[in-house]
Chains A and B, each alone.
Chain A
Amino acid sequence: MKQKLGNWQKSTERFSLLLSFFFLLLLGLAGYLVKINQDIKNYTEYHHTLNEMRTLDYKLDNCFSQLYRYINYDKTAMLEKKFESALTILQEKNGKLAYGKALQARIGEIAQVYTKKKTYFEDFKALNARVTNSLHFLYDMRKTLEKRLREGSYQAVLVDNIFFGISQIVMNIPSNDKKISQQLEMLSHTQTNRHLGYFIQHSRQFLNDAAKLKKVQKGAKKIPLRQKINLLLDDLTQKYEKDRRYQEDIAFGFFSFAFVILALLIFSYRRIRQNTRELQAFRYAIENSDNAIMLTDTQRHIEYVNEAFEKYTGYSKEEVMGKDPRILKSGLMPREAYDDMNETIGRGEIWQGELINRRKDGSILYEKASIVPVIMEGEVVKYLAVKLDITDYKEQQQRLKQAATVYRTMGDGVLITDKEKRILSVNPAFVNIFGYTEKELIGSKPMVIKTLEEDAYFFHQVWSQLLAKDRWSGKLYNQAKDGTVLPIWLTLTVVRDEKGEIENFIVIYTDLQEIMATQERAEFLAYHDSLTKLPNRAYFDLHIEDFLSFADIANEKVAIFFIDLDRFKVINDTLGHGIGDIMLKELSKRIRDVLDENMLFARIGGDEFVIVARLKEGRKEAAAIAETVLSLIREPVQASNYTLNTTASIGIVVYPDDTKNKFDIVKFADSAMYAAKEGGKDNYHFYNEQLSQNVQLRLDMEQEMLHAIEHNEFSLVFQPQYDLHTYKIVGMEVLLRWKNRKLGTVLPDAFISIAEETGMIVRLGYYVLEQACLTQARILKMGFTLETVAVNVSAIQFRDENFIENLKQILKRTGIPATMLEIEITERFIMEYSTTNMTILEELRGLGCRISIDDFGTGYSSMSYMKALPLDTIKIDKSFITELPYDMHDVEVCKAIIALSKSLGYQVVAEGIEKREQEVFLKENGCDVGQGYYFARPMPEKEFVTFLRKHHSQL
């Protein structure tokens, strides 16, 4: 191929060389013909000119013969001019003609001879004019003299003789000039008059001029002008003919040469045609090759790709023309591979290897490639890449590799036999399972793995199904080398060749032993709590029915206990989950240990447990169990270094007395448990119908509350807060009221918790905040100076991630400075969400809001919290105020709270002051602000304003 290409290139080069040479030759020939043509033209002109000169010379000679006559010299001058211009043409033309110096010399001679002849001619003209004048005069004179001279006188005879002599001269009759001169001499010696004097003068002049004229004529005749012209003409013709012959030879030479070249051209053309055909065949081969073929120039710009290339890569010819083959690069090849390739082809050697490229659609293309530098005349002129798409092969190889890996690493034992059922190969897992090495097994039959079920019928079944469906699977037992019997899930597969003949059997042994164990464990995990190992909610759900149906059959009652640890969350939050978990484990163990085995004890939530027990004696028995459980829980738990005290609340439902519905059981038990919690915790509560009714009430409330804001059912009332020492009203607490068309007036204690549960509290909270601020704004506008407006905010509200932003908006809308807003939070909130909500409190403080703790003293207040929290105000819960100043316990608590708050720099507010002595006590003990019916009840805005005005006027 390369050689062909080389040949072809050489042939075409020779062809074009020949062709250009041929054209050059033709051009030369054309030029030469033009030159010949010009020569002929020049020769013709030259010849013509010389002929004309010859004619002119004749005419001149003719003039010379016009002796003694009047001549119009314009005509002669014209002859001269014409001759001269012809001569000029010759002289000028000669320079252009290559006629040589010989002709030039001849022309020079002509010019020279002509000049001489011209001189004769000018003389002739002048003399002729003069002799003509003389003759003319003499003719005139003859008449006069005839009159004047006597006939026959001496003078007359002389005159007559002189006339005769002159006539002879004029007629070119040989004459005796001497005799005429003598007679003139004789005449001049006679007595002359004026006329005779003129006669003598003119005759003498005539004789003189005529003699000169004869001389001139003779001289002119001798001038060889015509001979010279003829000579030149001959020379010219000779030279011309010689030139013509020479030119013919040259033209013939040209033609012969052209013919030879033409022959060469035809020969060369035929060779090129042959080469071209061969190359076309090559090209056809390339076009249709299965190999992708790509040709680039030395700068690696693609010049050609074949169809296979298009097919393999998905790029069309047009797309890749002029591009760098790097467009195919996948980035999956190591750099070194390319370096090696570039280095190899850089040396002019062929590079062979595999390439990982990318098709146009992004898929990977494996190619086996040869890259050939095409070298012509020792120089790399192109690169040829021949590539085979081996993607399928590669992928298959990869799949085989993967299959091999699976075969080697899979947990199932695999055994492959030939069609005679002789073992060909076993995988490592097989070896693991059965203890035989591969060596021991190769060539033998799989029956070495004895099965316990050597049942001919069973095997017959297996065989027939295997041959029919090419596959069988089923459970059976095999024996390992060490004799262990293993439960095995066996899969038999037949491998057939293309004709459908059996080639191999593949046997897969799945060791069920481990699977079965795993399954059991999974089942356990699914139904048991991993921490306490107690049955979990799913187990409970699954088995409660069994219990109940069993009870139905046995006509027994079943008690379901719903146990919830009180304040378990606090322990988890404060001491960490680890402690919480220890406690849960400990408590569940204690309970488990005392319970009867027949009872079901399950953990169904974080701190929620259920006990299902069959009752033989009724509710008393259930109460006893509950008491036992409560006492077990009440006992302190030692976890790490902590001694933890906790209690539980238990709700009890008795089946089928309370309900026969399985789903109601849990619900009812939950209600009963809540009742127990509300009943002060650390106790149990049997379910009764009242509880269900309460639940219904809650549902109604939930329903009604949904549209309560839109229906303007909520209203705000305001209770003044006053300085216990000055009686100045310093602020007000905002309280919420709900009056529903169905439910009537609902107390906050009832609906707030529902609102919190349903999430309604968030909307409600914003409503209250906005209304409170608006009211404050109106009051301030009236000219009263209220320092703060206190609003209770639910813990749920803080969970709204936009809370701070929304609060800012409200403050901005209403124009109330943040410092005027006091956010009241419950002590419970602090306890429950201490860490998570610290940031919110900080942000509120950051805004400038005041923060007060409501119902202080009812929860688990901790000194450390008190110190750490960003607080402004502590509100003593009214339960501590009611019995003041008589209950000593309350007195001490109040004193302690006030002292504590003071020491921390907090303001103390006492709420629920109803009696004078309460106010006095608080005032005396340093409480700052009071609030309560004694001073003023909560009032709607209008009343509140009236109150303010009145109070203000009293002060």
Chain B
Amino acid sequence: MLRIVFLLLCVTFVEGGAIKPIPDKVAVNTQKAALGKKLFFDPLLSKDNTVSCATCHVLEEGGDDGLKYSFGVGGAQGSRNAPTVLNAVFNFRQFWDGRAKDLKAQAKSPIVNPKEMGDRFKPIIEKLQHHPEYKKRFNSIYPDGITSENIADAIAEYEKTLITPNGAFDRYLKGDKTAISKEAKHGYALFKEKGCILCHNGVNVGGNLFNRFGVYHDANGTDFGRYNVTGREDDKYVFKVPSLRNVARTAPYMHDGRFKKLRDAVSFMTEYQLGRYMEPEEIDAIVAFLETLNGTLPSNRSIRP
């Protein structure tokens, strides 16, 4: 009798299509995107004209900066690891604590964060107003010209283009059975079997729910995470489950960048989140699978700033 019950449970587990390939293209307004690109790379948006979006989100290096914590204007250091900008469009909320509901809402934040770009919108708008090209382009796109909303909108529009389709695993999903190694295939099976897939699913392999950091053990975190946003006791140590796309490129790991190696991160996750033990070969196989999640980095030429 017990057996029957668990068989039923098992059926739900084997359900296919848990991970979807990244689409080749996301529809964008190219004019806005072009303007957004210019803004993304322009340190003008920072208080001392030294830091741009691209300072921390280095596109060639996986959409982040490879640092535990990023440095903002005047050398100020942040308190969370910079998440990648790549494929961020597919996340259901932005930031580790999910406080921004979309890219546009997110884009405003680093600009005015004193530890990041440390600027305010009023002087930025003034700076842009004195820049004839920005003035012209904003006016041609937006009826109300240069505003904080429109700046964020343009940047968000550009960020929509920062996707990494055509990864080896996506090709595999699309039917190319040779696209990934046997070990990686084994890793994918383990990924599903061991329960990783329960949180890391969908297009972005994660990024579509929150969960507690340290379920079976205390993860020794100092950051209350989502509690800072909601104030609910239940939300303490709760973070957005991050996307595993390009995960091999986005070390260090965790919201506090505590692991430099992917293997360590996987091992930690197994124990703390899944409450399991995995053999080292199994962890290797999963890492091999995760490495197939690297997609084609967005071409810098796709959008002209």
A: residues with CB less than 8 A from B are 68-70, 72-74, 76-77, 80-81, 84, 119, 122-123, 125-126, 129-130, 132-137, 139, 142, 160, 163-164, 167, 170-171, 194, 198, 201-202, 205
A/B interface sample: 19 pairs, CB < 8 A:
A70-B197, A70-B201, A72-B201, A74-B20, A74-B208, A76-B208, A77-B202, A84-B101, A125-B209, A125-B210, A130-B211, A130-B212, A132-B195, A137-B195, A137-B276, A139-B6, A139-B9, A160-B2, A163-B2
Closest B residue by C-beta to A133: B195
Residue of A72, A81, A129, A163 near B92 (CB, 8 A) is: A81
Closest A residue by C-beta to B201: A72
Closest B residue by C-beta to A68: B9
B53 interface residue per 8 A CB criterion: no
A2 to B234, CA, bound (A): 96
Instruction: Tell me the number of A-to-B contacts counted with CB atoms below 8 Å.
Output: 98
Contact A72/B202 with A164-B2, A167-B2, A205-B215 known, Cβ cut-off 8 Å? yes
Please give, as numbers and ranges, the residues of chain A lying within 8 Å of B18 by CB-CB distance.
70, 72
Please give, as numbers and ranges, the residues of chain B lying within 8 Å of A81 by CB-CB distance.
92
Instruction: Apart from A119-B232, A167-B6, list 17 A-B contacts with CB within 8 A.
Output: A70-B13, A70-B15, A70-B198, A73-B202, A74-B204, A81-B92, A122-B210, A129-B198, A133-B198, A136-B13, A139-B9, A160-B2, A167-B1, A167-B2, A198-B276, A205-B215, A205-B275
Please give, as numbers and ranges, the residues of chain B lying within 8 Å of A84 by CB-CB distance.
101
Do residues B210 and A126 form an inter-chain contact, with CB atoms below 8 A? Answer: yes
For chain B, give the interface size range: 35 or more
A74 to B1, CA, bound (A): 34
Do residues A74 and B203 form an inter-chain contact, with CB atoms below 8 A? Answer: yes
B: residues with CB less than 8 A from A are 1-2, 5-6, 9-10, 12-13, 15, 17-18, 20, 92, 101, 195, 197-199, 201-204, 208-212, 215-216, 230, 232, 234, 238, 274-277
Contact A136/B195 with A70-B18, A74-B203 known, Cβ cut-off 8 Å? yes
Please give, as numbers and ranges, the residues of chain B lying within 8 Å of A122 by CB-CB distance.
209-210
A383 to B15, CA, bound (A): 103
B226 CB, nearest partner CB in chain A, Å: 8
Do residues A80 and B216 form an inter-chain contact, with CB atoms below 8 A? Answer: no
Please give, as numbers and ranges, the residues of chain B lying within 8 Å of A119 by CB-CB distance.
230, 232
Residue of A72, A80, A126, A170 near B5 (CB, 8 A) is: A170
Please give, as numbers and ranges, the residues of chain A lying within 8 Å of B215 by CB-CB distance.
130, 205
Please give, as numbers and ranges, the residues of chain A lying within 8 Å of B230 by CB-CB distance.
119
A645 to B35, CA, bound (A): 139
Please give, as numbers and ranges, the residues of chain B lying within 8 Å of A142 by CB-CB distance.
2, 6
**What are the nearest 5 A-B pairs in CB distance?**
A74-B202, A77-B92, A73-B208, A133-B195, A125-B209
A135 to B13, CA, bound (A): 10
A81 to B12, CA, bound (A): 25
A125 to B238, CA, bound (A): 12
Closest B residue by C-beta to A128: B198
Please give, as numbers and ranges, the residues of chain B lying within 8 Å of A74 by CB-CB distance.
20, 92, 201-204, 208
Closest B residue by C-beta to A140: B193
A202 to B201, CA, bound (A): 22
The prevalent SS among residues of B at the interface is: loop
Do residues A70 and B12 form an inter-chain contact, with CB atoms below 8 A? Answer: yes
Please give, as numbers and ranges, the residues of chain A lying within 8 Å of B212 by CB-CB distance.
126, 130
A68 to B195, CA, bound (A): 13
Please give, as numbers and ranges, the residues of chain A lying within 8 Å of B210 by CB-CB distance.
122, 125-126
Do residues A137 and B9 form an inter-chain contact, with CB atoms below 8 A? Answer: no
A296 to B212, CA, bound (A): 99
B78 CB, nearest partner CB in chain A, Å: 25
Please give, as numbers and ranges, the residues of chain B lying within 8 Å of A201 by CB-CB distance.
216, 275
Please give, as numbers and ranges, the residues of chain A lying within 8 Å of B198 by CB-CB distance.
70, 129, 132-133, 136
Do residues B5 and A167 form an inter-chain contact, with CB atoms below 8 A? Answer: yes
B120 CB, nearest partner CB in chain A, Å: 26
Do residues A133 and B274 form an inter-chain contact, with CB atoms below 8 A? Answer: yes
A282 to B287, CA, bound (A): 109
Do residues B5 and A171 form an inter-chain contact, with CB atoms below 8 A? Answer: yes
A73 to B1, CA, bound (A): 31
Contact A126/B216 with A139-B10, A167-B2, A171-B5 known, Cβ cut-off 8 Å? no
Do residues A198 and B203 form an inter-chain contact, with CB atoms below 8 A? Answer: no
Closest B residue by C-beta to A122: B210
A80 to B202, CA, bound (A): 15
Please give, as numbers and ranges, the residues of chain B lying within 8 Å of A126 by CB-CB distance.
209-212, 238
Do residues A136 and B234 form an inter-chain contact, with CB atoms below 8 A? Answer: no
Closest A residue by C-beta to B234: A123
Please give, as numbers and ranges, the residues of chain A lying within 8 Å of B209 by CB-CB distance.
73, 76-77, 122, 125-126, 129
Contact A198/B275 with A84-B101, A126-B238 known, Cβ cut-off 8 Å? yes
Contact A77/B208 with A84-B101, A129-B199, A133-B274 known, Cβ cut-off 8 Å? yes
Please give, as numbers and ranges, the residues of chain A lying within 8 Å of B274 by CB-CB distance.
133, 137
Do residues B201 and A73 form an inter-chain contact, with CB atoms below 8 A? Answer: yes
Please give, as numbers and ranges, the residues of chain A lying within 8 Å of B17 by CB-CB distance.
72
Please give, as numbers and ranges, the residues of chain B lying within 8 Å of A136 by CB-CB distance.
9, 13, 195, 198
Please give, as numbers and ranges, the residues of chain A lying within 8 Å of B20 by CB-CB distance.
74
Closest B residue by C-beta to A139: B6
Please give, as numbers and ranges, the residues of chain B lying within 8 Å of A125 by CB-CB distance.
209-211
Closest B residue by C-beta to A80: B92
A896 CB, nearest partner CB in chain B, Å: 125
B1 CB, nearest partner CB in chain A, Å: 8
Please give, as numbers and ranges, the residues of chain B lying within 8 Å of A198 by CB-CB distance.
275-277
B153 CB, nearest partner CB in chain A, Å: 14
A429 to B276, CA, bound (A): 166
B20 CB, nearest partner CB in chain A, Å: 7
Please give, as numbers and ranges, the residues of chain B lying within 8 Å of A123 by CB-CB distance.
234
A188 CB, nearest partner CB in chain B, Å: 15
Closest A residue by C-beta to B217: A201
A402 to B154, CA, bound (A): 107
Please give, as numbers and ranges, the residues of chain A lying within 8 Å of B208 by CB-CB distance.
73-74, 76-77
Please give, as numbers and ranges, the residues of chain B lying within 8 Å of A72 by CB-CB distance.
17-18, 201-202
Please give, as numbers and ranges, the residues of chain A lying within 8 Å of B202 by CB-CB distance.
72-74, 77
A170 to B277, CA, bound (A): 24
A136 to B8, CA, bound (A): 11
Closest A residue by C-beta to B7: A139
A129 to B232, CA, bound (A): 20
A122 to B210, CA, bound (A): 7
A690 to B80, CA, bound (A): 168
Please give, as numbers and ranges, the residues of chain B lying within 8 Å of A76 by CB-CB distance.
208-209
- Among A74, A132, A201, residue most surrounded by chain B Cβ atoms (within 10 Å): A74
A170 to B8, CA, bound (A): 11
A70 to B275, CA, bound (A): 17
Please give, as numbers and ranges, the residues of chain A lying within 8 Å of B2 by CB-CB distance.
142, 160, 163-164, 167
Please give, as numbers and ranges, the residues of chain B lying within 8 Å of A70 by CB-CB distance.
12-13, 15, 18, 197-198, 201
Closest A residue by C-beta to B199: A129
Contact A202/B275 with A72-B202, A84-B101 known, Cβ cut-off 8 Å? yes
Contact A133/B92 with A70-B15, A164-B2 known, Cβ cut-off 8 Å? no
A122 to B5, CA, bound (A): 27
Please give, as numbers and ranges, the residues of chain A lying within 8 Å of B199 by CB-CB distance.
73, 129
A105 to B15, CA, bound (A): 43
Please give, as numbers and ranges, the residues of chain A lying within 8 Å of B10 by CB-CB distance.
139
A129 to B15, CA, bound (A): 15
- Among B15, B92, B203, B238, residue most surrounded by chain A Cβ atoms (within 10 Å): B92
A80 to B208, CA, bound (A): 10
A160 to B3, CA, bound (A): 11
Closest B residue by C-beta to A194: B277
Please give, as numbers and ranges, the residues of chain A lying within 8 Å of B12 by CB-CB distance.
68-70, 132
A227 CB, nearest partner CB in chain B, Å: 24
A890 to B275, CA, bound (A): 189
Please give, as numbers and ranges, the residues of chain B lying within 8 Å of A132 by CB-CB distance.
12, 195, 198
Please give, as numbers and ranges, the residues of chain B lying within 8 Å of A129 by CB-CB distance.
198-199, 209, 211
Do residues A137 and B5 form an inter-chain contact, with CB atoms below 8 A? Answer: no
Closest B residue by C-beta to A73: B208
A171 to B276, CA, bound (A): 25
Please give, as numbers and ranges, the residues of chain A lying within 8 Å of B211 by CB-CB distance.
125-126, 129-130
Closest A residue by C-beta to B226: A122
